[in-house]
Structure 1
Amino acid sequence: MAPRSAPTARRLRVGTELRRLRERAGMAAVEAARALGTTQAQISNIEANRFGVSADRVHTLAHIYGCTDQPLVDALADMAADRTRGWWEEYRGTMPAPLLDLAEMEHHSTALRVAQVINIPGLLQTPDHARALFREAVPALRPHEIEHHVSHRIKRQAVLFRDQPVPYTAIIHEAALRMQFGGSQVTHAQLDHLIKVSEQPHITLRVIPFDGTSFPTAGHGLDYAHGPVTALDTAQLDTSHGSELIDAVGKLETYRLVLNRMEQATLKPTASRDLIRRIAKDT
């Protein structure tokens, strides 16, 4: 079997979780290989996702490792069996791989929670607002690259408007609502869009007002994708050097607490919508 040249973050996660199951069982790779009737190199290749792994093999390895968390095992088997190629693959080679992983993460999530202080969350941006942001990218993007990024961002938004949309909670600081990216006309249209989408039953928008209480991590943006089981959740951080995916159990627990704390500092959805309306009138 030929090795995978560029496994996605989702497929790499299968190998990562199998390694974690083995380590929790206190079993060395050579012992796992002996129990499976294969080589240590094959176990290493499975865990690094250099080769594909079948759903049956996932179940077999979980049994060898004594894992009794059946929902987790079933979810991993489903991930291993999924060979579909999403729309984001058409951007491979023209867009940074982490952005494709983000789109894949959102597509397969069971719920999404995001927090932004300076920017409007990407899934809620209008094309003109997104375009204004990408014009300020460092290093600078060429015009056609800007359009690639805008189209990719807008296509990501399909998770909120498909037949079975993803439940979505966005925590936005008032500062992000008052930023004039693209000028007043673009900003006003963006605020109107937020008001409209916040009326959707599966979209919850909560604003942290300037006169609110303090809140944690007042810097980078945070996206949190809930998986089929908590152990398969993923957090995504926006940093100056790009997107970073987090799947370590301890860190995920921390980011869930961060989001809970931030949400406690927000206005309720109706009051948040009213504040956006007031800001839009002043824009």
Structure 2
Amino acid sequence: MRSNPTGRQLRLGAELRKLRERAGLSTAEAARLLRVNSAQISNIEAARFGPSAERVHALARNYECFDPDLVDALVGMTGDRKRGWWEEYRELLPAGQLDLAELEHHATAIRVAVVIHIPGLLQALDHIRAGLLECVPPLRPHEVEHRLSYRLKRQAILFSDPPTPYATIVHEAALRMGVGGRDIARRQLQHLIEMSEHENVVVQVIPFGSWACVSSGQSFTYVEGPVPKLDTVVLDTAHGCEFLDAEAQLAKYRSVLDRMDSGSLTPEKSRDLIHNIAQSI
């Protein structure tokens, strides 16, 4: 029995529970169809047990799920925990940070909205370090180094083969925060321009004066899965990452992104604005 399931494993269990509930079946009824006891269904849905691919297919049939793409995606989430690079940080960082890295690793595309921060995957090394040194409560030197290396390793998805499509909407306020002082801030903006020139990276800026919705100042990431039902929203909060996957929540944040996009500059004009801000620092 698993004692510490990953976010991906918890999501598989949650999706199987949703399918059962949509079918109008209790755990006892689902267990009877599968010829197991109710505890096994509960343990699968709580990710305490990992179902095999064959069992997922059987559950999907019993729940009358006729979406082959969804079933294939769920089957792809089965199996024991694969030791991704993030596992080396399991005793060093909060579990939510590891779940975020695992989620990004399996993403088919990522959309990000930030208002007062540079997107994490587009931060340069000096900018990351300067930000970490301002954490409350203060981090010890070795904790800074762990979080720094973790952030840099997350960025690898932008350079993988194939690279993950990554689109971000950044408010002008984030570009003018000046984290780390003038030199670091200028280098960060130049790094942002260089990253925006990669084919898989899109950076758009909401300028001051735009009417665009900025989601009350909260940064969030919309991670696309292999099928839309497996998308995830990650809220960046003071107490860590918060993961949302209810259909209504996904629809809400897609709408927020679309509204912010409509009030953003084009990628070309965004680069020009970033360059002008860098020159003025």
Deviations for 1:164-197, whole angstroms, at most 9, x for unmatched residues?
1001101000000011110011101100101111
Paired residues of 2:53 and 2:75 also in contact (CA < 8 A): yes
Decide which of 149, 154, 157 is 2:155's aligned counterpart.
Answer: 157
Q: Secondary structure of the residue that 2:241 maps to in structure 1?
A: strand
Decide which of 48, 64, 73 is 2:62's aligned counterpart.
Answer: 64
Aligned residue for 2:118? 120
Paired residues of 1:117 and 1:218 also in contact (CA < 8 A): no
Which range moved further: 233-242 or 108-117?
233-242
Which range moved further: 221-230 or 126-135?
126-135
Aligned residue for 1:185? 183
Decide which of 36, 39, 58 is 1:41's aligned counterpart.
Answer: 39
Decide which of 137, 140, 143 is 1:139's aligned counterpart.
Answer: 137
Decide which of 74, 94, 106 is 1:76's aligned counterpart.
Answer: 74
1:135 CA displacement: 1.2
Which range moved further: 131-140 or 9-18?
131-140
Aligned residue for 2:227? 229
Q: How many residues align?
A: 281
Structure 1 gaps of 5+ residues are: none
Aligned residue for 2:53? 55
Decide which of 236, 239, 262 is 1:238's aligned counterpart.
Answer: 236
1:84 CA displacement: 2.1
Q: Distance in 2 between matches of 1:127 and 1:216?
A: 27
Q: Distance in 1 between matches of 2:244 and 2:278?
A: 35
Aligned residue for 1:26? 24
Which range moved further: 190-199 or 208-217?
208-217
Q: Distance in 1 between matches of 2:247 and 2:229?
A: 7
TM-score by length of 1: 0.97
Q: Secondary structure of the residue that 2:118 maps to in structure 1?
A: coil
Q: Distance in 1 between matches of 2:193 and 2:52?
A: 45
Aligned residue for 2:273? 275
1:82 CA displacement: 6.3
Aligned residue for 1:108? 106
Q: Distance in 1 between matches of 2:81 and 2:176?
A: 43
TM-score by length of 2: 0.98
Structure 2 gaps of 5+ residues are: none
Deviations for 1:194-251, whole angstroms, at most 9, x for unmatched residues?
1111011111000000122231413111101000000000110011211101111110
1:6 CA displacement: 0.8
Q: Give every structure 1 segment of 4 or more consecutive aligned residues whose post-TM-superposition deviation is greater than 6 Å.
A: none
Paired residues of 2:219 and 2:235 also in contact (CA < 8 A): yes
